[in-house]
Chain A
Amino acid sequence: MRHRSLLIMTTAITAGALTLSACGSRDDKNDSGGKDSKTTVVIGVDAPLTGSLSALGQGIKNSVDLAAKVANKNNEVDGVTFKVKSFDDQAVPSSGKANATSMVDDEDILGAVGPLNSGVAQSMQGVFDRGDLAQVSPANTNPALSQGDDWASGKKSRPFKTYFRTATTDIIQGRFAAQYYYKDAKKRKVFVIDDKQAYGNGLATIFAEEFKRLGGKVVGRDHLTVKETDFSGIANKVKSSGADSVYFGGQYPEGGLLSDQVKQAGAQVPIMGGDGIYDPAFIKASGTNNDGDLATSVGYPVEQLDSAKTFVKNYADQHYKDPYAAYGGYSYDAGWAIIQAVKAVVEDNNGKLPDNARAKITEALGKVSFDGVTGKVSFDQYGDTTNKQLTVYKVTKGAWKSVKSETFKD
């Protein structure tokens, strides 16, 4: 019997060890500059800097870094130098929570930008709230983060006063997508798939509700697992359901594969997703032609806004290794919102940082208002952005092209 118990033990230990191994975190220590007479304010950044979502995470980090550099160059806040300290959450909630704790413990950090994933944000919110440290996410779209778990039934209540975001919520994104599919693309029978994560599942559910409300039919609903590669079973179900379209709540690594496999199964229907699949990697990693696939993303295309031209140019001048990706503009605005809040607090306190700077900055964030990269930046009573611009993108000849930009109306 020794063989059997050894096997069971190995399996148990390994499963445990592999789970833990995914939770390690690596910090970028880039705060070794010399100190001068100026006060240094550190902005913490939490994003997936490694792993399959690192393309988005690096874009977030660099964009906040750019905001700090611009603020320092313009002497935006008299007597204050901004620095960025980044933390890697690998898109894992427990790493995010550990990072949040490190940020709260670091007295120089007065504001945080991030994270990318709504699921990670859920684990961080409480830590930030207890530490009175303001957090501005450039990318979270799950409504519960700012409006409480009962948002769907209309009972909105803000769970944490320290949480803000520059990205609009999935309530808006999911409904916008449903309206596009039903009204513009004239789709009637949709198959809805999600990746069981806070973001993907939430978005897909909101989409499905709105699509049904408009009069469309949801002909099938299924879930896939993150990091898996074989979705042929689900793809066949899509085909046999007779759906004329697919909606996918999730991220680009799975989205790209799903799109391929649906088409290989013989269902020539488009897949639409949210900002999680709006990434060049969705198209690039794909073996099959996915022209016609759609994605919604928050805001207008950065390249089209006048306010964004300076950002795009400044970003290029810095020669960062990775592009600003989908959330660059929002990350810059998130960083800038913190900088503006610091500015307001410092000006209120005779040019110095007060003792309870974190609480004051949280309070000041609720009142900031400026013209950012992505348009007007300000927050409503839940900490959500007041900017409700969205865009539908379509894969055309192997690249994302914007097809419709609009401010969401109920």
Chain B
Amino acid sequence: MHELPQTLVNGLTLGALYGLIAIGYTMVYGIVQLINFAHGEIFMIGGFGALTIYIWLPSGTALSLALPLMLIGGIVASVAIATAAERFAYRPLRGGPRLAPLITAIGLSIALQQAVWAFYPDAKKPRSFPQFEGSSFEILDNLHIQRGDAFLLIAAPLCMLALGLFVSKSRAGRAMQATAQDPDTAKLMGINTDRIIVMAFAIGGAFAAVAALSHGLKYGQINFEMGFIAGLKAFTAAVLGGIGNIYGAMLGGVVLGIVEALAIKYIQDIPGMDQLGGGAWKDVWAFTLLIVVLLVRPQGLLGERVADRA
């Protein structure tokens, strides 16, 4: 069991990544009850936004200097796409049948993916992403943290803290909670719900951009297809944690990441289970967990049982 700490750290970093993306699903769902399936692509575009800034910078710029600019570039790209999607793809359908924006979301997801494939230079193959020099930090004897992961492990809690403070303390955050609870009453109280909805999309986009930058630093490459699986996993994390709950999204992500890491490492070692372990089965275990959680707690780990609106 001496490799347990390393396995947990691997799961934690992967889970933090899922969690950051899951925030976007959860906030949008919490406010407009829409599952924004184009969110995986918003994440992917954040990565390309950050990469574009890096390419523009003079070559040889230290990554530590470039990083804040790349973060801004990624956030601008993701937020622009997310808010534009809200304005042009979802707002016209608001109030229509629930299925309509969902189908639009799927269409948008494919359109964004193909647009990057077609128009971003050399995006037809994976693009390499700048990485930190040097290898990993050795914390304990058998515990390494990659430099790319370190960024993620710092950024994710900071983002969560900022979001938590924003939602509970600021006026806009409280307006957001009010809109999530009851949009019609919120409107009567003088809250501009349209602005709140745009804000939810923008915050989700910004988090996705942080995730995309972390993804690039962690794996050293980004590609136009990366939004698909990441988006699906993040959506799973959001449902697992209780969709609509921002802390739930992060918790769901971390649980999912750790379950995947443990499944790869240990299920093979259980007697009689050697056929059901390893990388091939990790998604099976992750989704089994999701099903079990949904059966026992349909609202997800941190979700609240909401009364249906009439």
Question: What residues make up the interface of A, taking CB atoms closer than 8 Å to B?
Answer: 1-4, 6-7, 10-11, 13-14, 17-18, 21, 50-52, 54-55, 193, 196, 221-225, 227-234, 236-237, 240, 253, 256-257, 260-261, 264-266, 281, 284-288
Contact = CB atoms under 8 A, between A and B. Distances in A.
Contacts of B136: 264, 266
Nearest to A229: B219
Interface string B223-249: 101101110100000010001000000
Given A50-B117, A256-B221, A287-B219, A14 B144 contact: no
A18 B107 CA distance: 10
Nearest to A15: B232
A227 B231 CA distance: 12
A285 B128 contact: yes
Interface string B133-160: 0011000000010101000000000000
A257 B215 CA distance: 12
Contacts of A224: 279-280
Nearest to A54: B124
A95 B223 CA distance: 22
A285 B221 contact: yes
B273 to A, nearest CB: 14
A225 to B, nearest CB: 7
B110 A233 contact: no
A3 B306 contact: yes
B239 A14 contact: no
* B interface residue count range (under 10 / 10 to 19 / 20 to 34 / 35 or more): 35 or more
Given A222-B279, A233-B282, A52 B126 contact: yes
Given A232-B14, A286-B221, A21 B110 contact: yes
Contact of A55 (B103, B124, B127, B148): B124
B219 A260 contact: yes
A214 to B, nearest CB: 25
B179 interface: no
B10 interface: yes
B265 A10 contact: no
A230 B106 CA distance: 24
Contacts of A287: 128-131, 148, 219-221
Given A21-B110, A236-B6, A284 B125 contact: yes
19 contacts: A10-B35, A18-B37, A18-B228, A21-B106, A52-B223, A222-B264, A227-B228, A233-B264, A234-B264, A236-B6, A236-B7, A237-B264, A261-B219, A285-B128, A285-B220, A286-B221, A287-B128, A287-B129, A287-B220
Interface of B: 3, 6-7, 10, 14, 35, 37, 98-99, 102-103, 106, 110, 114, 117, 124-131, 135-136, 144, 146, 148, 215, 219-221, 223, 225-226, 228-230, 232, 239, 243, 260-261, 264-265, 278-280, 282-283, 294, 298-299, 306, 308
Contacts of A256: 126, 221
B3 to A, nearest CB: 6
Contacts of A225: 279-280, 282-283
A262 B202 CA distance: 36
B280 A52 contact: no
Contacts of B144: 265-266
B126 A6 contact: no
A408 B299 CA distance: 60
Contacts of A285: 125-128, 220-221, 223
B225 A230 contact: no
Contacts of A10: 35, 102
B135 to A, nearest CB: 7
Nearest to A18: B106
Given A18-B106, A229-B219, A286 B37 contact: no
A112 B282 CA distance: 39
Given A229-B226, A253-B223, A223 B278 contact: yes
A237 B110 CA distance: 35
B280 A227 contact: no
